[in-house]
Amino acid sequence: MNFSGVPVTRRAMMAAVVAGLLAGQMLAPARAASDPKVQFDTSAGNFVVELYPDKAPKTVANFLQYVKDKQYDGTIFHRVISNFMIQGGGYDIHYAERPTRPPIVNEGADALARGGPGNVVGTIAMARTSAPNSATAQFFINVHDNAFLDASAQSPGYAVFGKVVSGMDVINKIKAMPTGPGGPFPSDVPKTPVIINSATLVK
């Protein structure tokens, strides 16, 4: 980078800043190439989620087992809120709820402590009831920065365990769909069903 014409003191300062930024980039943790990825083939298009087993190992293991068991194939995104998140993985196209395994421990706080991302745009987290350790198969993808969903001293939060790494345009397409009542839900159901045809572990 050329600093010619800049006073020496300022030039030195700028060089130090740039060096610091470069050092920060080198120190920033890179995702491992071996991190598992899951491709979702949906009626609205395809997207891929990269999972973070080093941040939320139990959550990732639970999710991958559901993927391997074909739990998500034929389910829908049943809750879509354009300035919040899109949620799916629990109901089929007839609104029949899929049976699940026992719930898992909420790793929201642990994932953050291990340097994982919070509930920011594009991240995937487990849905649950008001009981902290109640997540089973349903998941949601944040389409807005939802810091209030992160674990804190006041709340156990929601466990982020990965992020969309391709096909975010599909996520944005889903979030923009008109919604209304559907099945047992009084609102927020896409009027055009968004079906997960398959969820597959990418080798």
Segment 9-59, tens digit of pLDDT? 444 444 444 444 444 443 334 566 689 999 999 999 999 999 999 999 999
pLDDT, residue 43, reads: 98
Question: Could you tell me where in the chain the CATH 2.40.100.10 domains are found?
Answer: 37-202
pLDDT given at position 19: 44
- Whether residue 193 contacts residue 56, with contact meaning beta carbons closer than 8 Å, is answered with no
Tell me the average pLDDT across 108-115: 96
Q: Give the DSSP H/E element, type plus range, for residue 172.
A: helix 168-175
Residue range 145-196, pLDDT digits in tens: 999 999 999 999 999 999 999 999 999 999 999 999 999 999 999 999 999 9
Of residues 25 and 68, more confidently modeled? 68
The reported pLDDT for the residue numbered 30 is 57
CB distance 112 to 151 below 8 Å: yes
- Using one digit for the tens of pLDDT, what is the confidence trace for 74-90? 999 999 999 999 999 99
Give the pLDDT confidence score for residue 28 in this predicted structure.
37
- Pairing of β 195-202 and β 160-166: unpaired
Percentage of residues in the chain with pLDDT exceeding 90?
83
pLDDT at 116 over 70: yes
pLDDT at 65 over 70: yes
Q: Is the pLDDT of residue 1 over 50?
A: no
Q: What is the mean pLDDT of the chain?
A: 89
pLDDT of residue 34: 85
Which residues contact residue 10 at a Cβ distance below 8 angstroms, ignoring those fewer than 6 apart?
A: none
Cα separations (Å) of 178 from 105, 173, 192? 34, 10, 8
Name the residue type at position 122.
G
Which architecture characterizes domain 37-202 according to CATH?
Answer: Beta Barrel (2.40)
- How far apart CA 194 and CA 200 sit, in angstroms, is 17
Specify whether the CB–CB gap between 154 and 148 falls below 8 A.
no
pLDDT band at 203 (very low <50, low <70, confident <90, very high): confident
